[in-house]
Structure 1
Amino acid sequence: MDATQLLAQAADAVAAADPAGLMPARQQMALSLGWHIILACFGVAFPAIIFAMHLRGLLKKDPVSLDLAKRWGKVSAVLFAIGAVSGTVLSFEMGLLWPGLMGTYGDVLGLPFAFEGLAFFLEAIFLGIYLYGWGRMPPRLHLMMVVPMAITGIIGTYCVIAVNAWMNHPVGFDVIDGAITNIEPWAVLFNTHTFMQFAHMWVAAYMVAGFSIAAVYAAGMLKGRRDRHHRLGFMVPFAFATVAALAQPFVGHLLGEGLDERQPSKLAAFELAATTDEGASPLRIGGVLIDGEVKGALEIPYLGSMIALGSLTEPVPGLDQIPEEDHPPVNFTHLAFQAMIGLGLLLMGAVVLYWFLRWRKRDLLHNRWFLRFMATTGVLAVAAMEAGWIATEVGRQPWIVFGVMRTTEAAADHSAGLWGVYGASVLLYGAMTVGAAVVLRSMARRWREGAADLPSPYGPRSPLADAATVRECGDERDHAKEAAR
């Protein structure tokens, strides 16, 4: 029997040992989380961007800023509504797809999930008040309705990240004779690993939202819409994205400190360390692991140990120090991690270039090549975030709770109905994506055609709102005439 047949038999044996519900559960969670996390970024970052634009409008008495804040509030409502659907699906999936996890550790994880639900409802309440408060509330009080939206979005995201951080670094319980005892639900929320993981995600949310919104206005400027409306719509979210892009490498580095102790297998996969080097490890850019050997990597001496461990002599612990059954999918983890780093550095370089040339009195918003690149930055930021989550989740395998419970132990023993649920989810998420695109494009088209206020099927019309709309339109026309002169 040759080596190929032996490998095939080994793969069949592993597949046979996996529970039937494992593959559909993995596919379903990859789809649901990968799709929902994009909307979660807007839930975290969009309220702060809207607040900045609205505040600018009040302080400078600028109708263009107020109009943009009003439009963005309506866009956030559309994204929030879609996110509510996908978030509800996820809440059911945790118990349906991973009964071993929730059945065993449900009491440990219940508190953060409960707080996340409360935060979601509060965010919905204040979003509604903000949407229908235009012209019906004192301007400064109306502005302050955005603050609870931002806070509750952050709290909800923190609670979800706390659960994921717990899966990477479990705390808050003891296992005695196979039973989960001495449960401390608050320990999950205040896990020391949670704060840095949340900070990493929080900054990523501003990158995704900031670059995505700026990309829309960059695309508009490429089509010749170079009015003040588009320039301001680009600059405010781009400023948020700039701060996030510059901060993210440092936050990510702080998050990675101590990974050699917490999850050495994940660090070895990140660094493509098949064996423990003698002395400092190089930084391996690209490359894959084939038959235990690194192929095709560009190696920079010492830099791997410097970045991962802060040392010029200590090697990165290799996979040879970890039992083979505990190895993660190394190539997938390594390439996802490096894709995140590469895209993040590309976006950071773009913002540095823009502000440096602006300091030198050159405005890149008149450069079509720069605008073309900026029109892609929303997609690039999303890709960087998704790659980071892939590296985090795949790098934790084969554990669903690191060092405590394997993913195979958490999945259902049967796949009855799970593939059907997955197929229905594909259709649902596809329909919501198309629906969101149609609604948002329709809103943008009507705004370009001069609609000052889109009709709402729910909110009653207010004489104050009508007067405000007429006044804002008049101010915009006066500004356009002045610009033309």
Structure 2
Amino acid sequence: MDDFLAARAQMALSLGFHIIFACVGMVMPFLMAFSHWKYLKTKDPVYKGLTKAWSKGVAILFATGAVSGTMLSFELGLLWPEFMKHAGPIFGMPFSLEGTAFFIEAIALGFFLYGWEKFNKWFHWFCGFLVGLSGLASGILVVAANSWMNSPSGFDYINGEYLNIDPIKALFNDAWLPQAFHMTVAAFCATGFAVAGVHAFYVLKNKNRVFHFKAFRIAAGFALIGAFGAPISGDIAAKSVAVRQPIKLAAMEAHFETEKGAAFVLGGIPDVEKEEVTHAIKVPKVLSFLAFNDFDAEVRGLKEFPKDEWPPVAVTHYAFQVMIFFGMVMMAIGAIYLYAHFFKKDWLTKRWFLRLFIVAIPFGYIALEAGWTVTEVGRQPWIIYGIMRTADAVTPMPGIQYSFYFFTAIFVSLALVILFLLKRQIKMVPKLYDPTDPLFEAKEKGGVA
């Protein structure tokens, strides 16, 4: 493994690992705050127990996210010094603001964890809600930095120099709103389905059923926000890409020929050498409509661009297909949930219904990682789109592959520790209620049907 590949692999691993905790930090506090609000309104002790259980999970994942985020910030400087030399003064503002949001989140979380019976109940609730707001702001600000890499603005690039720097314009670049919106929706979808699936598993096992069923209902509600919001945010993001990065759109669809009324490709195997895609289902004119709201609009193909500027077509295309597939599956599960909620409430405790959510636990994060791959790999060979190539930004220091191996071992260890802590936390859920809730009446031992 050469140093350039090792640097890219290490960055990919770090981002892929950290993005999970970033998304959990953006969403889980809102689940926690909603459960707390339900407790304050109903005085139901199950909601209090659920709020405390989720708050401990938030604390565990917050600490891990802080570690992985800190490592990531160091990697930017160590692995890509040429990039940070020029980009740092331009897009440093969102990182500075993200640090402020992080500190607010940490303080608010401390207040919430240790403020039970000590603060006014509504101030205490607000502290939990503030954890969510600051976590959401933190994620959006990081996305602002990434979106700047896809749509660089706020400076003039003249004779290799970065002049007339405007950090505000860099922060609010053209890609910021579409990416931030899509990322936020994806976070709600991924975290909602993961949490709902975990609690559905314990409902199915008849362990602390009332507790887990109420948790399942809350998490599923948040998952629906993401599942039905994803097509809307994805459409906005795709239209933005079509205008700003037409070559990325072409790679996403393995679209080689420039044509009007371009077909939307489902599946398929891209052949870069022959410049074609085979074994694909093509829906006529749909790509033109999705990109430009016009069935006859012209969509530029890869052949229109220099081949040395093509992103890795196969990786980008497959990642895009994976994201779409799992997004559609989660939307279908969401539709089934809504139908059950309004018309077939007895389905909510059926084994097949709960198993749908259990199977879907990883779907959101698979789609999330695939979408992030589309964003990052689809921008290559540029680290700053159209300005600086990734190969020109990497550190000249040798031996990066050993750093990659070391960081991989750290992330694997962190993942194992997190799984152990979360599993133990779930097992410690207190029995605060009578498990013979009428919702869970069944033919055998009060189990689910």
TM range (shorter): over 0.9
Q: State the SS of the aligned residue for 1:396.
A: coil
AA in 2 matched with 1:334: H
Q: Is the 8 A contact 1:24 1:419 kept in 2?
A: yes
Q: Which residue of 1 aligns with 2:331?
A: 348
Q: Which residue of 2 aligns with 1:105?
A: 87
Q: State the SS of the aligned residue for 2:16.
A: helix
Report Cα offsets for 1:342-382 as digits up to 9, x if no partner.
11011001111121133223432222222122012220000
Q: Which residue of 2 aligns with 1:467?
A: none
The reply to whether residue 304 of structure 1 matches residue 287 of structure 2 is: yes
Of 198, 217, 225 in structure 1, the residue corresponding to residue 180 of structure 2 is: 198
How far has the Cα of 1:478 moved from its partner? 10
The reply to whether residue 442 of structure 1 matches residue 424 of structure 2 is: yes
Of 30, 44, 66 in structure 1, the residue corresponding to residue 12 of structure 2 is: 30
Q: Which residue of 2 aligns with 1:386?
A: 369
The reply to whether residue 339 of structure 1 matches residue 322 of structure 2 is: yes
Q: State the SS of the aligned residue for 2:386.
A: coil
Distance in 2 separating the partners of 1:238 and 1:421: 40
Q: Which residue of 2 aligns with 1:158?
A: 140
Q: For residues 116 and 421 of structure 1, do their structure 2 counterparts lie closer, same or farther at Cα, with a shift above 3 Å needed?
A: same
Q: Is the 8 A contact 1:112 1:188 kept in 2?
A: no
How far has the Cα of 1:335 moved from its partner? 1.1
Q: Which residue of 1 aligns with 2:238?
A: 256
Q: Which residue of 2 aligns with 1:465?
A: none
How far has the Cα of 1:482 moved from its partner? 13
Q: Which residue of 1 aligns with 2:224?
A: 242
Distance in 2 separating the partners of 1:238 and 1:258: 30
The two structures have a TM-score, normalised by structure 2, of: 0.94
Q: Is the 8 A contact 1:274 1:289 kept in 2?
A: no
Distance in 1 separating the partners of 2:435 and 2:103: 41
Moved more, 322-331 or 146-155: 146-155
Counting only pairs closer than 5 Å after superposition, residues 420-459 of structure 1 correspond to structure 2 as 420-447=402-429, 450=431
Which structure 1 residue ranges, 5 or more long, are not aligned?
1-14, 451-472
CA RMSD between the two structures: 2.1
Counting only pairs closer than 5 Å after superposition, residues 219-298 of structure 1 correspond to structure 2 as 219-225=201-207, 227-277=209-259, 279-290=260-271, 291-298=274-281
Distance in 2 separating the partners of 1:356 and 1:481: 21
AA in 2 matched with 1:434: L
Report Cα offsets for 1:292-316 as digits up to 9, x if no partner.
1221111121222122222221232
Q: Is the 8 A contact 2:262 2:298 kept in 1?
A: yes
How far has the Cα of 1:125 moved from its partner? 1.1
Report Cα offsets for 1:114-147 as digits up to 9, x if no partner.
1111211221111011001112222222111112
The reply to whether residue 117 of structure 1 matches residue 95 of structure 2 is: no
Q: State the SS of the aligned residue for 1:192.
A: coil
How far has the Cα of 1:440 moved from its partner? 1.4
Of 73, 84, 103 in structure 2, the residue corresponding to residue 91 of structure 1 is: 73
AA in 1 matched with 2:265: R
The reply to whether residue 370 of structure 1 matches residue 323 of structure 2 is: no
How far has the Cα of 1:35 moved from its partner? 0.5
AA in 1 matched with 2:426: A
Q: For residues 240 and 326 of structure 1, do their structure 2 counterparts lie closer, same or farther at Cα, with a shift above 3 Å needed?
A: same
Distance in 2 separating the partners of 1:147 and 1:342: 33
Distance in 1 separating the partners of 2:280 and 2:45: 54
Q: Which residue of 2 aligns with 1:326?
A: 309
Moved more, 84-93 or 113-122: 113-122
Q: Is the 8 A contact 2:98 2:142 kept in 1?
A: yes
Q: Is the 8 A contact 2:29 2:129 kept in 1?
A: yes
Of 133, 157, 165 in structure 2, the residue corresponding to residue 183 of structure 1 is: 165
Distance in 2 separating the partners of 1:403 and 1:177: 14
How far has the Cα of 1:251 moved from its partner? 0.9
AA in 1 matched with 2:41: L
Aligned length: 440
How far has the Cα of 1:320 moved from its partner? 1.2
AA in 2 matched with 1:283: F
Q: State the SS of the aligned residue for 1:375.
A: helix
Q: State the SS of the aligned residue for 1:363.
A: helix
Q: Which residue of 2 aligns with 1:5?
A: none
The reply to whether residue 133 of structure 1 matches residue 95 of structure 2 is: no
Moved more, 354-363 or 180-189: 354-363
The two structures have a TM-score, normalised by structure 1, of: 0.87
The reply to whether residue 68 of structure 1 matches residue 67 of structure 2 is: no
Q: Is the 8 A contact 1:24 1:415 kept in 2?
A: no
Distance in 2 separating the partners of 1:143 and 1:110: 33
AA in 1 matched with 2:314: N
Q: For residues 320 and 216 of structure 1, do their structure 2 counterparts lie closer, same or farther at Cα, with a shift above 3 Å needed?
A: same
Q: State the SS of the aligned residue for 1:447.
A: coil
Q: Which residue of 1 aligns with 2:300?
A: 317
How far has the Cα of 1:22 moved from its partner? 1.5
Q: For residues 124 and 183 of structure 1, do their structure 2 counterparts lie closer, same or farther at Cα, with a shift above 3 Å needed?
A: same
Distance in 2 separating the partners of 1:283 and 1:481: 49
Q: State the SS of the aligned residue for 2:261.
A: coil
Q: Is the 8 A contact 1:21 1:97 kept in 2?
A: no
The reply to whether residue 410 of structure 1 matches residue 393 of structure 2 is: yes
AA in 1 matched with 2:26: V
Matched-pair identity in %: 38
Distance in 1 separating the partners of 2:208 and 2:332: 24
Distance in 1 separating the partners of 2:398 and 2:215: 48
AA in 2 matched with 1:389: W
Q: Which residue of 1 aligns with 2:190?
A: 208
Which structure 2 residue ranges, 5 or more long, are not aligned?
none
Report Cα offsets for 1:176-234 as digits up to 9, x if no partner.
33221111112222223211210111111111111111111111122123732111010
The reply to whether residue 42 of structure 1 matches residue 24 of structure 2 is: yes
Moved more, 355-364 or 339-348: 355-364
How far has the Cα of 1:419 moved from its partner? 1.7
Q: Which residue of 2 aligns with 1:459?
A: none
Moved more, 163-172 or 298-307: 298-307
Stretches (4+) displaced over 6 A: 478-485
